[in-house]
Structure 1
Amino acid sequence: MRLEQLQAFLAVAETGNFQQAAQKCGVSQSTISRQVQSLEATVGLSLFHRQGNAKLTLGGDRLLPHAKKICQIWATAEQELTDLQAGKQTELCVAGIPSACAYQLPPILQKFSRTYPNVQLRVTTLGSDRALKVLKDGLIDIAIVMNNPFLTASSEMVITRLYEEKIQLLLPAQHPLSKKEVITWRDLDNFPQAVFKDGYGLQRLVQDQFNRQGIRLNAALELNALEAFRGVVKQGSLIALLPETFLVELNYDSDLVVRSLSEPNLTREIVLVTTIDRIQIPPIQYFCKLAAEMVQQEIPVILKSALSS
C-alpha cells in the first residue's frame, strides 16, 4: 500500500468520479484508475461501485477514515519538515559548561533572539561529558563544552573551536601559597581543594595533570557551580583550579588571590559541537556562526583587559 494509492482513493471518494479525481490530482484518468486498482488488489476488496458515479463499497467505506488519517498525518509531517528547512522550528536547545553559560552565552542569546524571535531558547548548564551525551541522544541541538577528542571523534559531529584558556589557581588572600609569586604544581601537593564534580571535563583535566606530576589531588569538596567556588575559597581553607575567563573578575576581590602556575601550563580548549543533520537547519546554523564570531571577538578583549589591570 502506497501513499499515492490512498491519495487517489480519497480523490475519487470525494469527487465521486474518476475523471474529476484525475483533474483534482493533476494526473491522467488512467493513472487514477491504475492506482485505485492496485490498492484494491492489495486489500483484496473492491472499493467502488463503478456503475454511474463511483460510490464507495462497504470495504471502501471502512477504509475511508483510515485513509484520511494516514494522508493527514503525512501532510502534517511534510509541512513540519518544510518549516524546519525554512528555519521555522519552535525551539533551540543548548547545553553548556558553567563558564560558557555565565559569561559567553548571554550576549549570543540576546542577538539570536532578535533575529529569530519566534524560536524559544532552552539553555541548560551541564558538564562537558553529560552535554555531549545528551547531544548524541538528540535531546539538545548544540553543546558548548571543553573539547574531549574521545567523545567528539565521530563523523556525525561538527566541531567549531571557540577559544583556549589557561587554568589558574584561586586562593584565599591569607593562604600560605598566596605569598609566593611563582607557584609550582608540586606546591599544590596534598593541599585541600574544591573541585568540580565527576563528569565535568575540568575535573578530569586537573586530575590527569596531578597524575602526570606524581602528586596527590586532595579533593576536599566537590561543586558544580562557578560562583560556589568564590564563596568556598573565601572561607580561607580551600584552593581551586579554575578557568581564566571566570577568574578575571576576581582579580578585584581583596579577599582572593589569582595565580598562574609555572610550567607546564594547563589549558583547556572550548568548542561548540552540533551534528551534521542539525547544522543544515537555518536557526542552528546561524547560532553556531554567531557564537563563533562573538566569542572569538570577546575573549581576547576580556583577557587583555585583565592583563592591563
Structure 2
Amino acid sequence: MRLEDLEIFRAVHETSSFQRAAQRSGLSQSAVTKIVRKLEDEFGMALMERGAGVIALTPAGRTLYERAIELADLAAATRRDMVSEAAALRGSVRLGVVPALLHSVATPVLSEVLAKSKAAQIQLTVKHSAELVRLVEDGKLDLALCFGVQHVAPNVACALVGHQRYQLVVRAGHPLLARRPSLQQLSQMGWLLPPSGVTLRAEIERMFSDAELGPLNVRIESDASATLLTPFILQGNLIGVLAEQALHPLSKEGLGALDVDLPALLGNVVIYYRRRAPSVGVVMDIRHRLEAQARSNLPA
C-alpha cells in the first residue's frame, strides 16, 4: 500500500469516475483501474461497487477512504515538520509578529539574536493575529507573537506572556471626548473594530451584551493594523480601539482617548507555535527570549 495508490483511490471516489480520476492524476484509465484492483487484492475484499455508471464505496472502501484522508493529512504534517527542522538546522527561523508588538518586543530580541549568531536568518512576517495563527497551523511559521484568538487548531500550542492595554479613541472635537460617556451613549455610536474572531472584539461586545445593550453598530471591520485605519477615525465620529503605546504619537495628529468608567481593556499577548516545534535550539532560543522580553515590557 502506497500513499500514491491511496490518492488514486480517493480520486476515483471523489470524482465518481475512473476516467476523471485518471485525468486528475495524470495517469491512464487502465493504470487507475489496476491500482484500485491491486488495493482490493491486497486487502482481500471489494472496495468499490461498480454498475450502471455508478461507483459507490463498500463499507470496507469507506473505511479505507477515511484512513486515506487521515494518512494524507499526516504525511502533509510530516513534510511541514521536516521543512521546519531543516530551516531551523540552517539557523533560519520563521517568525510572525503583529505590528503593535514589533518594535517593543520583537525588534530587541531579533537584534540580540543576529548579533549573537552570524548564521542566524530571520524570515519575518508582519500581519494581524488571526492570519499569523493560520500560518502557524499550516506550518508556514515557526512562531507567532500576537494577540489571543478564539479558535486554534489542535496542532498548535501557546504561551501567555502578558497583556496589552487598549484605549477607546476618537478624533479631537468628537462630541464624547469632553465628557465621560456611558455604555448607553457608546452603544449608539459607530465603531471601527477588528474581526469577530479576535478576542479583543469579543471582550468589547461582551461588555455591552452584559449590560443588555444591543449589538454594536460596527461601521468598519478590518483585520489591518489599527494604526493604519486612524484616518477613518480622524475624519468622522467613529470610535476605535488602539494599543496604549500607539496612542501617544497619534495624539499629535488629533486622536484622543475617551475617559470611560469601564474595566481596563486588556488583550492577551500570546506566542503560538506548533506542538511539534523544531527540536534544535535556535527556535527555542528565540521563543524564550520573546517570552522574557514580553513579560518585562507588558502588564502581567
Q: TM-score interval w.r.t. the shorter chain?
A: 0.5 to 0.7
Deviations 1:39-88 (A, max 9, x none): xxxxxxxxxxxxxxxxxxxxxxxxxxxxxxxxxxxxxxxxxx8x959963
How many Å separate the matches in 2 of 1:198 and 1:125? 20
1:262 corresponding residue in structure 2:
261
Residue 132 of structure 1 aligns to a residue whose secondary structure is helix
Q: Which residue of 1 aligns with 2:246?
A: 246
Q: Residue in 1 aligned with 2:273? A: 274
Residue identity opposite 1:143 in structure 2: A
Larger radius of gyration: 1
Contact 1:195–1:203 (Cα < 8 Å) also in 2: yes
Alpha-carbon distance, 1:279 to partner: 5.7
Question: Relative to 1, partners in 2 of residues 1:242 and 1:211: Cα closer, same or farther, differing over 3 Å?
Answer: farther
* Secondary structure of 2:177 counterpart: helix
Structure 2 partner of 1:193: 191
1:117 alignment partner in structure 2: 118
Aligned partners of 2:133 and 2:144 also within 8 Å: yes
Q: Is the CA contact 1:146–1:269 (under 8 Å) kept in the aligned structure 2?
A: yes
**Distance (Å, rounded) in 2 between the aligned partners of 1:108 and 1:260:** 35
Partner of 2:182: 184
Counterpart AA for 1:119: A
- Indicate the residue corresponding to 2:226 in structure 1: 226
- Residue identity (%): 17
Q: What is the number of residues matched between the two proteins? A: 216
Go from structure 1 to structure 2 and tell me whether the alpha carbon gap of 1:293 and 1:177 turns closer, same or farther (over 3 Å shift): same
- Give structure 1 stretches of 5+ with no counterpart: 1-80, 301-309
TM-score scaled by structure 2? Answer: 0.62
Q: Which amino acid is 2:243 matched to?
A: P
For 1:261 and 1:280, locate their aligned partners in 2 and report how far apart those are by CA, in whole Å.
47
CA distance in 1 between counterparts of 2:160 and 2:169 reads: 26
Shift in alpha-carbon separation, 1:148–1:230, aligned structure 2, 3 A: closer
Cα distance change, pair 283–109 in 1 and its aligned pair in 2 (3 A)? same
- 1:212 equivalent in structure 2: 210
SS in structure 1 opposite 2:169? strand
Structure 1 letter corresponding to 2:147: M
Contact 2:135 2:141 in 1 (8 A): yes
1-side partners of 2:231 and 2:109: how far apart?
Answer: 28
For 2:120 and 2:239, the matched residues in 1 are separated by 41
TM-score normalised according to structure 1 size: 0.60
2:144 aligned partner, one-letter code = A
Asked whether 1:106 is paired with 2:116, we answer no
Contact residue 168 and residue 260 of structure 1 kept, 8 A: no
Distance 1:90 1:199, change over 3 A: farther
- Alignment gaps of 5+ in structure 2: 1-81
What is the aligned partner in structure 2 of residue 97 from structure 1?
98
What root-mean-square deviation, in Å, do the aligned CA atoms of Structure 1 and Structure 2 show?
A: 3.0
Greater helix share, 1 or 2? 1
